[in-house]
Amino acid sequence: MQPRPLPVNVPLVRAVTIDSYLARLAAANHLSLPDFRAHLGLPPTRNGRVDLNRLLVMTGHQLDRLSDMMVGAGPWPGRTRVSPLPASRPACRRCTTARGIQGDVYRVSTDLRVCRPHRRWLGSLGDPHSEQYDLSPLPDVVHAQRRQHRCYTVMAATSADRRSFGLGASATAGPSGATGISTASGASRATSLRSPATPTRPPPSRRCSTTRRP
Amino acid sequence: VVNGATRSDARADQTGATAVHEPLTSKEGWRRFIDATDDPPPPLSAAEAAAVTPLEQHGVGERRLGYHGRLAVVATPTVQQIALAGRRLMVLNRHQISARRGLIVTGGAGTGKTTAITQLGRAHELFQRLRAPDGGPRLPVVYVTVPPAATPRMLAVEFARFLGLPITTRSNITDVTNAVCGVLGACGCELVIVDEIHNLNLATRSGAEVSDQLKYFSERLPATFVYAGIDVERRGLFAGPRGSQIASRFATIATSPFPYGTQTQRQAWHALLATVEQTLRLRAPRPGTLVGLGGYLHQHAAGMIGSLSHLIRGAAIDAIITGEEKITKAGLDGVQLDHAAEHQHGAKTARTGRRTPRRPAGAA
């Protein structure tokens, strides 16, 4: 069956995982997720390869924009299919609600645990039901996150391998019209620097400063 | 470079995939129908026409052929009546929580049913666009046809196909119906147009089930339903308990061939022809030709608006191709019409023994 544009599209969030995006797309169109995944050539389980051409037709996005916003959406050179990335953390629910997004959005941001504008703990990696706690009584945690981000920025500027820090291969920012969640969430500013269409892997879970858990 | 080429190829494929034929019963085709403008190509004077190169001349000719191939829709009294009734029902139904009223357009083939209901849908969608220019995904109008030998699932899939929802063979009717109703509710659907309703035969079990499915849709969706079909009363749409429920909720508007008996009816026909003539863009027109041939055109097209449109468009295209650039009776004679109109025209000619009726008094 030839793919056709879906009636309802959902906004793209920077660094969103393919699994999260597909789940939101299916929910917005009142489709069962296994059926929707089957339509994209994906098995009902998490492991599989997305037929990106079908997804581009169904969402109306351009390949560059999709791969810029979505981690793992950009195919490796010479390939047209990509594998979804499993490691994800819920985006700040206050940021997504402010953008009119219903339901959780999962992003690849292994080292970004705090939403700085809203001062909230984002939850544990890979735990879809984790609570997002208020960090107002624990300013040290927010401060630590800020220091970590600053540290990453400095290290990335001096490092040849920017991809290791989730900052992309070059210093150029994404398209100015990108409406990533990064505009609302300072905690994700590091990922907002990712260059378009750069095949990226999730940054390694390294720390440059101590981060206290609440 | 290789990767770039692959991507551009993929994009070209993608463009090609969306450029394929999109029927009116899909949201893309419907949107194209809504967005289509009927602006006529600019008229060229003889001097301007002589100045353009043969290639440009060909291009202009092609544009004019395309324009005359689709000509603007004329607001006949039936189109106006259906537009008013539909608009009135939508306002009345807006605050109803159930038992919404609907409209059935019935009549013979070629009497302009589909044109009238699609114009109603187009007017409503354009109105909604003006009211909420950027209010998220909007699908105020849905246009589907009842497939032949339809089953409830086939009807639900028709709705899903209009929306572009991916339906697999694994999806059952409940999944499809829920997805359709959910999406249409989220997209603010207010008007559902179901054409070819005569394919629904309440005497058969599947026909009755399709009727129930339509009823279920009308309960789930906060929309006004408009049905159109050929002579639905005679085909038993109002028979039996299901039929009586339809009859109690739906008003009926009958479309019929244009009458040509009284002086008033002739004046209405001539006014219609005058309006059609104004939309033509031929280079050497003789004003008043169509009105002058009013009686002949009515007899030739058997009063059917569809046949009349085909006749005039065909003659206009012939006039452009042959370079005659005007509509003549000989040109109209050369256009082959549908069997029904030809048959009726032949019968009338044989009965009166005259090929054309006398021109009415006062006609040019």
Owner of token pair 């720390």 = A207
- pLDDT one-digit tens code per residue, B294-344: 889 998 888 888 888 888 989 988 888 888 888 888 888 888 777 766 666
Which residues of chain B does A10 touch, with a Cβ-Cβ cutoff of 8 Å?
Answer: none
| pLDDT (average), residues A137-159 | 81
Binary contact (A35, B166; C-beta < 8 A): yes
Judged by average pLDDT, the poorest of A52-56, A65-69, A143-147 is: A65-69
Helices (H), chain B: 2-18, 27-35, 46-51, 54-70, 77-93, 113-131, 152-163, 173-186, 205-220, 240-249, 263-279, 289-292, 294-301, 305-322, 329-333, 339-352
Task: List the single residue in A58, A78, A80 with the smallest CB-CB distance to B2.
Answer: A78
| Residue A25 to residue A22: CA distance in whole angstroms | 5
Which residues of chain B does A2 touch, with a Cβ-Cβ cutoff of 8 Å?
Answer: 17
Nearest to A10, CA basis, from B336, B136, B322: B136
B28: closest chain A residue by CA: A5
Tokens describing residue B232: 């639905």
Which residues of chain A does B139 touch, with a Cβ-Cβ cutoff of 8 Å?
Answer: 7
B13, B21, B165: best to mutate for the A interface, most A CBs within 10 A: B165
Which neighbouring-strand residues pair with A175?
none
| pLDDT (average), residues B56-77 | 77
Is A82 a residue whose pLDDT tops 80?
Answer: no
Is B261 a residue whose pLDDT tops 80?
Answer: yes
Tokens describing residue B32: 């194209």
The pLDDT value recorded for residue B105 is 93
Which residues of chain B does A62 touch, with a Cβ-Cβ cutoff of 8 Å?
Answer: 11
Q: B27-35 vs B152-163: helix axis angle to the nearest 10? A: 50
- With the CA atoms of B107, B113, B116 and B121 taken in that order, what torsion angle do they form, in degrees rounded to the nearest 10? 120
**How many CB atoms neighbour CB A161 within 10 A?**
9
Q: SS3 of B299, please?
A: helix
Task: List the single residue in A1, A6, A77 with the smallest CB-CB distance to B3.
Answer: A77
For residue B142, the distance in angstroms to the closest alpha carbon of chain A comes to: 12
* Most confidently modeled range among A82-91, A163-172, B84-93: B84-93
CB A84 within 8 A of CB A72: yes
Is B347 a residue whose pLDDT tops 80?
Answer: no
| pLDDT (average), residues B79-86 | 91
Binary contact (B27, A62; C-beta < 8 A): no
| Residue B275 to residue A10: CA distance in whole angstroms | 46
| CA angle centred on A103, ends A179 and A166, rounded to 5° | 45
| pLDDT (average), residues B227-256 | 86
Three-state helix/strand/coil letters over A78-101: CCCEECCCCCCEECCHHHHHHCCC
Tokens describing residue B70: 């689709």
**Backbone φ, ψ for residue B156 (5° rounding):** -60, -40
Binary contact (A36, B166; C-beta < 8 A): yes
Task: List the single residue in B10, B181, B183 with the smallest CB-CB distance to A8.
Answer: B183
DSSP strands (E only) in chain A: 16-17, 50-51, 70-71, 81-82, 89-90, 106-107, 114-115, 120-121
For residue B25, the distance in angstroms to the closest alpha carbon of chain A comes to: 13
Q: Which residue has the higher pLDDT, B14 or A87?
A: A87
**Backbone φ, ψ for residue A197 (5° rounding):** 60, 25
**How many CB atoms neighbour CB B127 within 10 A?**
12
| pLDDT (average), residues B249-269 | 89
Strands B250-255 and B224-230: unpaired
| DSSP class per residue in B238-288 | T-HHHHHHHHHHEEEEEE-PPP-SSHHHHHHHHHHHHHHHHH---SS--TT
Sign of CA dihedral B292, B296, B302, B305: negative
| pLDDT (average), residues B29-58 | 74
Task: List the single residue in B6, B164, B178 with the smallest CB-CB distance to A7.
Answer: B164
Residues 205-264 of B with CB under 8 A from A: none
Sign of CA dihedral B303, B309, B314, B320: positive
pTM score: 0.74
A41: closest chain B residue by CA: B168
Q: Tell me the pLDDT band of B27, cut-offs 50, 70 and 90.
A: very high
| Residue B319 to residue B315: CA distance in whole angstroms | 6
Strands A120-121 and A70-71: unpaired
Terminal-to-terminal C-alpha distance of chain A: 50
Determine contact: A63 vs chain B, CB below 8 A: yes
For residue B182, the distance in angstroms to the closest alpha carbon of chain A comes to: 6
- With the CA atoms of A184, A190, A191 and A194 taken in that order, what torsion angle do they form, in degrees rounded to the nearest 10? 120
Is B176 a residue whose pLDDT tops 80?
Answer: yes
Tokens describing residue A162: 């920017």
- pLDDT one-digit tens code per residue, A162-192: 444 444 433 333 333 332 333 223 333 333 3
| Residue A74 to residue A63: CA distance in whole angstroms | 8
Which residues of chain B does A58 touch, with a Cβ-Cβ cutoff of 8 Å?
Answer: 166
ipTM: 0.75
Q: Tell me the pLDDT band of B62, cut-offs 50, 70 and 90.
A: confident
Residues 39-58 of A with CB under 8 A from B: 39, 53, 56-58
The pLDDT value recorded for residue B345 is 63
| pLDDT (average), residues A180-207 | 35
Judged by average pLDDT, the poorest of A78-87, A153-162, B58-67, B71-80 is: A78-87
Q: Which residue has the higher pLDDT, B41 or B174?
A: B174
Determine contact: B14 vs chain A, CB below 8 A: yes
Binary contact (B187, A8; C-beta < 8 A): yes
| pLDDT (average), residues A75-90 | 60
| pLDDT (average), residues B197-220 | 89
Q: Tell me the pLDDT band of A93, cut-offs 50, 70 and 90.
A: confident
Is A199 a residue whose pLDDT tops 50?
Answer: no
- pLDDT one-digit tens code per residue, B348-362: 666 555 544 444 444
| Residue B332 to residue A29: CA distance in whole angstroms | 51
- pLDDT one-digit tens code per residue, A32-45: 888 888 888 777 76
Binary contact (A78, B7; C-beta < 8 A): no
The pLDDT value recorded for residue B144 is 95
